[in-house]
Amino acid sequence: MATTPLTVLDLVPISSGHTASDALRNSIDLAKRTESFGYTRYWFAEHHLNPGVAGTSPAVVLALTAEATSTIRLGSGAVQLGHRTALATVEEFGLLDALHPGRFDLGLGRSGGRPPAQPAPEPALVGATAGRAANGLTIPPRFSFEGLLRSPRFAMIKNLLVQPHAEAQDYGEQIDDILALLAGTYRTADGIEAHVVPGERADLQVWILGSSGGESAQVAGRNGLRFAANYHVSPGTVLEAAEGYRAAFQPSAALDRPQVSVSADVVVARDSATARELAAGYGPWVHSIRSGAGAIPYPTPAEARSHDWDRELVADRLDTQFVGSPAEVADQLELLREATGADELIITTITHDHADRVRSYELLAQEWRTR
């Protein structure tokens, strides 16, 4: 099991009583520390207008982190293409690669883009019944994001990110354009070439991130790209996502077989009681996101207990957060790996205190090496 690499996914969380500057410095420090612990990759997410999250621009934070680290791969988890162009994305990561060649993963997400004209059919799930995968991994009911996507706050964010009257490009076409610009093969219909410098022939690994077996999994599969399935975002659809990707996979120059990473929310401490205390802020924090209000600054355990929040709205996330001692959490990660066939596991950990967060990653790495 130790041969299964571990990756870090960082939202750059802002803890209550702290600032965005604190959060950024903590994230760069965590990248340095997890590099020394043996983690393979360090990815930054992209989120906007959240008082409790400072990770608004993966490329900017990646540039800062690259200067502070030397061996760990760095990437976006993910650049949200709904408000960006293929050219801007390739140019940004081309600049990064020009200074730190061969270290970056370009993780791409569909959030905020044009809905697919024909949603992909959902694959039949193998061995997942009654809220459990065949090996016992918790698979909760599918959560519907429709309420969140239709919230006034989500509409405001989309309006602020997108140019007036602009329409997002079809996601599959946008991925095709990114791949062509990276390869140096982009041509317009009338034969005009585009060459991105820096960017063309950049030594990047391209990943697609997705939460279901729909368009993202299909695009990743048919292009022969790496795929990351989001158990930490939508645990009820993780098996669908992995299976949909594998069913659609076609070998490419970059990849001759499917490669799947799967994410999980994790808190590790020396014992399960301490871990549960450190994870106390997770429920109200996720609730603030799913309610449409936006991520609050991550609360202390005492602050979390004073919050009024609806557990039902976030039950799937609470029931699938891996919290406990190093051995307990590693056991759960093994179940996740076995159920999904993951080639890598992506660990996202948030605690109020930075030292507890660092220690969680350290304890997990130490335990994982013994498996």
Q: pLDDT for 163-197, tens place per residue? A: 998 888 999 999 999 999 999 999 999 999 999 99
Reply yes or no: is the peptide bond before residue 78 cis, omega within 30 of 0.
Answer: yes
Higher pLDDT: 48 or 2? It is: 48
What distance separates the 2 farthest-apart alpha carbons in the chain?
Answer: 65
Mean pLDDT of 339-348: 98
In this prediction, residue 27 carries a pLDDT of: 98
pLDDT digit string (tens) for 227-265? 999 999 999 999 999 999 999 999 999 999 999 999 999
Query: Cβ neighbours of residue 302 under 8 Å, at least 6 residues apart?
Result: none
The yes-or-no verdict on residue 125 having pLDDT over 50 is: no
| pTM exceeds 0.75 for this model | yes
Instruction: Name, in order, each residue with C-beta under 8 angstroms of 304's C-beta and a sequence gap of 6 or more.
Output: 280, 281, 283, 284, 285
DSSP 206: E
What ranges do the domains of the chain cover? 6-368
Residue 10 has pLDDT above 80, yes or no: yes
Percentage, residues of the chain above pLDDT 90? 87
* Strand ranges for the chain from DSSP E: 6-10, 41-44, 73-76, 79-80, 104-109, 128-129, 132-133, 204-210, 226-229, 260-268, 322-324, 344-348
The mean pLDDT of the chain is: 94
Ranges of H-type helices in 136-257: 146-149, 152-161, 171-183, 215-222, 238-248
What CATH code is assigned to 6-368? Answer: 3.20.20.30
pLDDT in tens, 196-206: 999 999 999 99
DSSP state of 281: G
Q: What is the per-residue pLDDT for 146? A: 86
pLDDT of the residue at 172: 96
